[in-house]
Structure 1
């Protein structure tokens, strides 16, 4: 699908990846953005012992799943807002987008987070002047859908 923002894609990708990668919490957990397009943000996370939520079963902590859905959804909201600000120079866009924050997050856990790694895909449902809404799907490395989420983000 053509969005009309393809010419801004390198700027969008660089700004979003830089913003997300610099957050200390994201670094601590180990989540990394692996793909940014005008229609999709994808993040990966390797399983680490420090992220186990149930030491008996060895499954990923639900808070980590929720965090990945939130960060990926927030990154997708950034992409949508970045595209809407195409008339503003790059530095001002980045300053405005630094204020993006989560208003609401709903996560449905569908199965335990078992696996050697995980990834989440987020898409934009709506990007308005003030608020963006995203949908995220969280998978393990065997492509089992473990959780889904809907996030609402303040963007303006």
Structure 2
């Protein structure tokens, strides 16, 4: 991908995917093999209403999106597709009522499989709130 392709991908992820629009997801930085994403806190993201903590499923969705965007930077054609085939997430600390960011980077890329590590964190915390390992199938087009 070229720099212009990254901007097209950024626009598509932020503006054309309804789930990402609900999340308010914004791409802070995108480069070959990596992405940095910001998701602003919303009360609707609370899973533990007693302690006011983020729902783990929302965090997993953010991790999968970040991993997918990082993986998509390795695609060669606009007709190539990326599909999640596996994701493992470790929740390390409760995510409090604050924004969440994700940093994802490709750790292994083959002809048909791309593996990505994702770190979810909150800017005021020194420790990540979750770590994910995502695996994607890269469906390459003939053209």
Same fold (TM over 0.5): yes
TM-score after normalising by structure 2: 0.90
Match for 1:20 among 13, 17, 21? Answer: 13
RMSD: 1.3
- Structure 2 residue runs of 5 or longer lacking an equivalent are none
8 Å Cα contact 1:104/1:152 also seen in 2: yes
Cα offsets for 1:99-146 (capped at 9, x unmatched) = 311000000000001142110000001121111000000001213310
1:133 corresponds to: 115
Aligned partners of 2:55 and 2:38: how far apart in 1?
15
Match of residue 94 from structure 1: 78
Q: Distance in 2 between matches of 1:115 and 1:122?
A: 22
**Equivalent residue pairs, number:** 137
1:139-154 equivalences in 2 (<5 Å): 139-143=121-125, 144-154=127-137
Give the Cα separation in 2 of the matches to 1:65 and 1:51: 9
Secondary structure of the corresponding residue to residue 78 of structure 2: helix
User: Structure 1 residue 18: deviation in Å?
Assistant: 2.3
Distance 2:12 2:113 in 1: 19
Runs of 4+ in 1 over 4 A off after TM superposition: none
Verify the 8 A CA contact 1:115 1:142 in the aligned structure 2: no
Secondary structure of 1:77's counterpart equals: helix
Secondary structure of the residue aligned to 2:74 is helix
Q: Give the Cα separation in 1 of the matches to 2:5 and 2:106.
A: 15
Structure 1 runs not aligned, ≥5 long: 86-92
Relative distance call for 1:109 and 1:56 in structure 2 (3 A) is same
* Partner in structure 2 of residue 88 of structure 1: none
